[in-house]
Copies of this chain bind each other. A is one copy, B any other.
Amino acid sequence: MTQSDAGPRTPVKTAERTLELVEFLKAADGATLSEATDAVDLPKSSVHNYLKTLVHHGYVVENDGTYEVGLRFLDLGAYARTRVPLYPVAEPELETVAEETGELANLLVEQDGRGTFIYRKKGENAVKIDSYNGQQILLHTTAIGKALLANLPEDRVEAILDRYGLPQKTENTITDREELFAELDRIRSEGFSYDDEERISGLNCVATPILQGDDVVGAISVTGPTSRMSQSRIDDEIKQQLRNAKNIIELNLSHA
């Protein structure tokens, strides 16, 4: 990863190790003390202290020897979501989109250069994979991320690219800056972005940004399997649904 942000001058290492440990528990779907010890570079006794401390505060749960991410994080996470003004406005509209199309409808916002799905609603036939709330992505890897990126000020886009680079996720991921900027231009003029299996093979996605005045506050999209996302369906149905939702959301945002 081309990460050029060095971070704080004097980071609190213990805090970082704590978070790293929790992230490992997530990645591993739970782990024993020994497994966790192998993963983070610390002796067993130290990891033990960390885990017990986290357990005591409810951030980690222990079930006969295996440690897991605890529900206490849901409290913080759901709270953080309530602080995003777009969320309550967009939620009902995305529900409609999911119902009408039968596919997966998504809402993405940006924080600190990263994209976060703050709401995902499955329609009747929605693809099962690749879907849970809170998932974080790099903006250049998806249609919905690019829709957002295309409407950010140029200097912010530059800063984001400097920090996170353009790592490749599938063979279609854009990895070249020039190419990305050209694509962002196209998105700005058309108002929609697409991805052709750029992040996950077999999935297609159509997205459009949500604007508040001149500022982009998020983006919405519909995701479906390549087989069902024909050009004609995209043009006739999907884009219509998205346009509709976008209008209502922006209208409600403007006088709130």
Chain A interface residues (CB < 8 Å from chain B): 5, 7-8, 10-12, 14-16, 18-19, 22-23, 26, 29-30, 49-50, 52-59, 61, 68-84, 109, 111-112, 114, 116, 118, 132-136
Contact = CB atoms under 8 A, between A and B. Distances in A.
Contact of A77 (B10, B16, B18, B77): B77
A112 B19 contact: no
Contact of A76 (B16, B26, B55): B26
A143 to B, nearest CB: 20
Q: How many copies does the complex hold?
A: 2
A116 B79 CA distance: 13
Contacts of A109: 71
Contacts of A79: 26, 69, 73, 132, 134
Given A8-B55, A8-B56, A71-B134, 19 more contacts: A5-B56, A7-B56, A12-B14, A12-B18, A12-B53, A18-B18, A19-B57, A22-B76, A26-B79, A58-B114, A69-B76, A71-B111, A72-B111, A73-B80, A73-B134, A74-B81, A75-B136, A78-B133, A79-B134
